[in-house]
Structure 1
Amino acid sequence: MAHKVDLIGFGGVGQGFVEILREKGWKLKKEHLDFKVVSISDLYKGSLHHPDGLCLDKVMSSIKETGSLDSYPDQPGLIRGWSTQETIEKSNADSVVEMTFTDVVTGQPAIDHCTWAFSNKKNVVMTNKGPVALAYDTLSKLARENGVRWSFEGAVMSGSPALRLPLETLTGNDINEIRGILNGTTNYMLMRMEEGLSYKEALQEAKEKGYAEADPTADVEGYDVLYKVLILANVVLGVPLKRDDVTCEGITGVTQSAIEEAKRSGKCWKLIGSLKRTEEGVKGSVAPEMVTLDDPLAGVSGAMNAITYQCDLSGPITLVGAGAGIKETGFAVLIDLIHMERGR
């Protein structure tokens, strides 16, 4: 039986996920995995629902023709115009895939989307950091009470399994410390500053390449990494750290003279998100650090991400991979859905 899915938000990641289903659908079915998109709801592109599933070829044709879902052809049983709340509450989906933009201060509207889904006995897969970082305990409890699952692999390192690796593959270890490069924009900028660009030039280039947003504050001030550190604390270490528990400093204070000093010392600058178990409890921080060149994080260049887990049994394990990208994040959605389906 097909696993029915609502897509809430249909920007780059949502369209990337649909393209993966179009490309890989036949292969998934051979492995007895059949995902059927029954609803799409987007604030700007419109909404569609059909209980038997939408034709993904026609969905993408409509987007390419009009930038919206307006030209998707009418058919018996098709419903247009549901709000996001109506889509989540009224559709016959098993799972809601939440891919809207989140206000990282409030976690909204994605927190509400999770609440509506769980209250209606629907699983949630999401790529949003906000709800996991800001409302993990509350939403986890609500999901458990309603007998549904909540997955968010894509919220930390996109398609790289930064959560599934420690929770599943490394289970049995005590993880005493986590250190990571969790923001590709700032890692790219620091690399280019090492190569001679000024901070301003590196930021401009990052914008031109699409790594940095028009407003890069969340990246350069470290807030993006801060929320990922909170997710790792809550989910991997089981410690309910809050925003004010983690010290946060971005890269805006890293000068060209500091870059040169690091080179003379045989080191390089990286923006590091870290968690460490101490006698006083788990300490979290986000800050630029001069790391030695033999540190596995030192060799991670460009917009790549990496994370090192210090394990008592297996020793240090480092995962390196893309921390962003439409296809990579679409894959994170797919793998979460596959795990849900196999666990049914």
Structure 2
Amino acid sequence: MAHKLAFIGFGTVGQGLAEILLRKQQLVRQEMGEDVQVVAISDAIKGSVYNPDGLDLALVLDVVKRTGSLESYPDERSTQKGWDSLKTIRETNADTIVEVTFTNVRTGQPAIDHCRAAFAAGKNVVTSNKGPAALQYAELSALAQEHGAYFGIEGTVMSGTPTLRMPLLTLPGNDITEIRGIFNGTTNYILTCMERGMTYHEALARAQQLGYAEADPTSDIEGYDAMYKVIILANVVMGVPLQPHDVTCRGIADITPADIQRAGAQGKRWKLVSRLVKRGADVIASVAPEMISLDDPLASVSGTTNAITYECDLIGPVTVMGAGAGRTETGFSLLSDLIYIAHQAKRGHGMLV
């Protein structure tokens, strides 16, 4: 028996997971207790291919690299082409849908509809898309549970760095009173460059040149990317159903070299800090630039690195640092969800995340 996957979207992240599955084939088999077989891939630009008996993943990656199209994959017995994403989700024999499409985070689409269709068909979803988890976590989690499926979203906050499942599995019994972190590598890189003498615009141009920032960097610079990650953490770790309008959000565009110098003179450093604070029955959520002391663990986080601190009543602050993006790193987050699904299925347990 093999655990069958269908990829919805096959860009950088999807190909990153595919490469890991090839490279770590034996280890994945050991961890999951079964082979992993990719049976379908559907991509809005590259086309689609489905074979219920499994695709040659090495050949898929080679064809995509050479031609940019899945339509160039050889026609074999039982091979189907031209299926759209929803048909692929509903009609293939996949056990789990790997949802890694280009998604509008403000609407969560098309990823939300893909998750709904998968759960209605009794299929698991693993995704690194923030939209479904930030905007419809309660609905999608309930839908997954109703249909006996799993909803894997580990990669939605800090890519492959353990952020969501870790506190649920390893910090039980603690009251997590505050979560704060650096969740956007682009803004952190820009602030690091400004400390080294660049202006904001020079640092942004460097970030774009290196591929850290998009041509339109609004989502990063204005704090929206971090805001959606705050919402996910509130929903998953604190169990509070926040929405975007519940988060106070301000970005870094107004930070000047004079601000950077002022912070340094005070023994502090500017960071774009995302924060969730419990106050009685309420949770106060914010994303904003803050001057933090150099002895704060978050102050040592430079460049594109991300970090998160959980304030716990029993063991105090716990800080985790690591990559917040990347082809292999995000691919790993999806793999970690797949392995967790396999472990939980063996035990007959539902998913924590």
What TM-score range do you get, normalising by the shorter chain?
Answer: over 0.9
What is residue 29 of structure 2 aligned with on the other side?
29
Post-superposition Cα deviations, 1:93-133, rounded to whole Å, max 9, x if no partner, equal: 11001001111111100000000000000000000001110
Alignment of 1:211-222 (within 5 A): 211-222=212-223
Correspondence for 1:58: 59
Q: Deviations over 1:228-287 (max 9, x none)?
A: 000000000000111111100000111111111000000000000000001361000000
Look up the equivalent residue of 1:94 and give its one-letter code: D
Q: Residue 98 of structure 1 aligns with which residue?
A: 99
SS at match of 2:208: helix
Give the match for residue 8 of structure 1.
8
2:348 corresponds in structure 1 to: none
CA distance in 1, matches of 2:171, 2:296: 21
Aligned to 1:307: 308
Percent identity for Structure 1 against Structure 2: 58
Q: Post-superposition shift, 1:201?
A: 0.3
Count of matched residue positions in the alignment of Structure 1 and Structure 2:
344
Q: Say which is worse superposed, 138-147 or 197-206, in terms of deviation.
A: 138-147
The residue type paired with residue 110 of structure 1 is A
- Give the deviation of 1:27 after TM superposition: 2.5
| 1:200 equivalenced with 2:201 (yes/no) | yes
Flag the 1:206–1:310 CA change in 2: closer, same or farther, 3 A. same
* Contact 2:130/2:156 (8 A) holds in 1: yes
8 Å contact kept, 2:271–2:289: yes
Q: Which runs of structure 2 are paired with 1:253-292 in the superposition (5 Å)?
A: 253-279=254-280, 281-292=282-293
- Per-residue deviation at 1:35? 1.0
Query: In the alignment, which residue of structure 1 is the partner of 2:17?
Result: 17
Q: Residue type of the partner of 1:150?
A: F
Report matched runs for 1:1-344 at 5 Å. 1-31=1-31, 32-279=33-280, 281-344=282-345
For 2:179, what is the secondary structure of its paired residue?
A: strand
Report the secondary structure of 1:137's partner residue. helix
**Rounded Cα–Cα distance in structure 1 between residues aligned with 2:58 and 2:244:** 42
Q: What is the DSSP-based 3-state SS (H/G/I as helix, E as strand, rest coil) of the residue aligned with 2:269? A: strand
Equivalent pair of 1:182/1:306 in contact (CA under 8 Å): yes
Length-normalised TM-score, structure 2: 0.96
Which residue type is aligned with residue 54 of structure 1? Answer: L
* SS of corresponding position for 2:297: coil
The code of the aligned residue for 1:7 comes to F
Q: 2: CA distance between counterparts of 1:172 and 1:110? A: 34
Instruction: Quote the offset at 1:33 in angstroms.
Output: 3.7
The separation in 1 between residues aligned to 2:332 and 2:281, in whole angstroms, is: 38
Local SS of the residue matching 2:283: strand
- Structure 2 gaps of 5+ residues are 346-353
Q: 2: distance between equivalents of 1:311 and 1:33?
A: 37
Worse overlay, 271-280 or 217-226 = 271-280
Instruction: Give the Cα–Cα distance (whole angstroms) in 1 for the partners of residues 30 and 233 of structure 2.
Output: 35
Structure 2 distance, partners of 1:283, 1:27, is: 42
Structure 1 unaligned residues grouped into runs of 5+: none
Question: What is the alpha-carbon root mean square deviation over aligned residues?
Answer: 0.8
CA deviation after TM superposition for structure 1 residue 5, in Å: 0.6
Amino acid at match of 1:15: Q
2: CA distance, partners of 1:156 / 1:332: 10
Distance in 1 (CA, whole Å) between partners of 2:249 and 2:324 is 20
**Structure 2 letter corresponding to 1:4:** K
**Cα drift, residue 28 of structure 1:** 2.1
Q: Which amino acid aligns with 1:38?
A: V
- Secondary structure of the structure 2 residue equivalent to 1:48: strand
Distance 2:133 2:105 in 1: 10
Residues 49 and 71, structure 2, Cα contact 8 Å, conserved in 1: no
